[in-house]
Chain A
Amino acid sequence: MRRGAGRLLLFVLVLAVLWGLWEGYRWLWMREAWTWPFIVNGTSMPHLHSIFGALWSSARPGGVGPRLVTLLFHSALFTAKEAAVGFALGAVLGFTLGAFLAHFRILSRGFLPWVVASQTVPILVVAPMVVVWLNPKLPTRFQDWGAVAVIAAYLTFFPVTINTIRGLHSADRRALELMRSYAAGNWRILWKLRFPAALPYIFAALKVSATASVVGAIIGELPSSIQDGLGGQIINYSQYYTTQPTGLWATNVVAAALGITFFLVILVTEKLVVRRAPENFA
């Protein structure tokens, strides 16, 4: 219990240090009027407390209407839906493809390099074409956000595929021999040995993919000019940046929170599901 309190204290301390660094940098650069790497003023680097203040106050100038944080929260929820669906889709696809490629070595030699190469495609750029092409093909209730979910899925499936393959192949040879000595069939071996052995690897990929899904969702929203999500808000507030810089920063804060939340969900799930010996930490 004491260790937990110590950790918390350290966490708060580092937070305070970072806050101090921001404000300190800002103060120093403004005082000395340095222009490298960029000019510092109230617009380019607002006070951190102004950003949080803006979150808490009304979204519309003039002080009427809902709080910015409420508005952004709903946008975040919208984006989260796209990201979560995309993530689930991509994860299932990735896992299936990975399991397939792990089993059929020759397929893996043929497809793996292209799975790797597929990741060099800048997703955003494919997004408008995917959305234009896919949108009319989707049932009405899936339109708009569905195409974005596909983008998120695309970003997810690669790490999951690669890590599933690695994980399934990571089973100790002697453990495999043991299973064979029990005359366990291939499915049994998959379920009882390979899959549990693969879990840590798969979770590592899921952690990366969770974040990627959020990024994919945000980026996917941009070309579709969907107003409801965080991507739309980013475009919105970047247009008003010179007059209301805190809006864009606030949106970034919310986007960050969304990404971290997704990541934490996976982290917690992993801790519950996977129990393994700690790695060397020396």
Chain B
Amino acid sequence: MSVVAIKDVTKRFEETTALQSIDLEIEPGEFVSLIGPSGCGKSTLLRIIGDLIEPTSGTAAVNGKPARQARIDRDYGIVFQDAVLYDWRTVAKNIALPLELAGWDRGRRTAKVKEMLELVELSGFESHYPWQLSGGMQQRVSIARALSFDPALLLMDEPFGALDEMTRERLNMELLQIWEASGSTVVFVTHSIAEAVFLSTRVVVMSPRPGRISNVIPIDLPQPRTATTREEPRFFELVTEVREALHLGHDLERAPA
């Protein structure tokens, strides 16, 4: 059973068609990146999966249920580009937020928070406030929070977009380790071709106006990925493939009908 099943989803905003007849299936354990230029609808698609936006037509199913039910059952965790931590809560209380809402008791919450902090290598920062942390650290807290209730699905909307390249590469590695350790499925929106190729098992290339999937490229790089993966010839080939797919989508859009 697919974790995510998008069937013929279309989304219109006023006069713009953000998404047109999208079909996508994601199997458990995959790491799927959505990549494309601005306006291709990748963030919209992510939000439809998360039932934060409703499609104009078509169906979105998560874990075999309608997306709405999946959201109510808290089947997924979401990470935004901006860490969206609550200023008035410590790191520990920020991570515990979804757990509080799910009604966990204090003991269980504390234990889980500790586990999560170890996972993202921020042990010892429980009582810090968000303003005391760097951007990369805040993002790690955001990831810890998203994973705190062990969701099957992780939705990430350009989570490392605001960080510098070196922090980004380091967090990419950490994310892969977390992905492996937790066995969850990840849908990852990004602008960066290298990041998409490095992280994913599949790269979904999208193009705008109207937003649609123009290509799906399987990434057959060996697992687990390491720091040297970026230096292999196959990596460069795949990056080129993705880049050309992006250009193709772009050219199709510009070519006379």
* Chains A and B directly touch (beta carbon < 8 Å): no
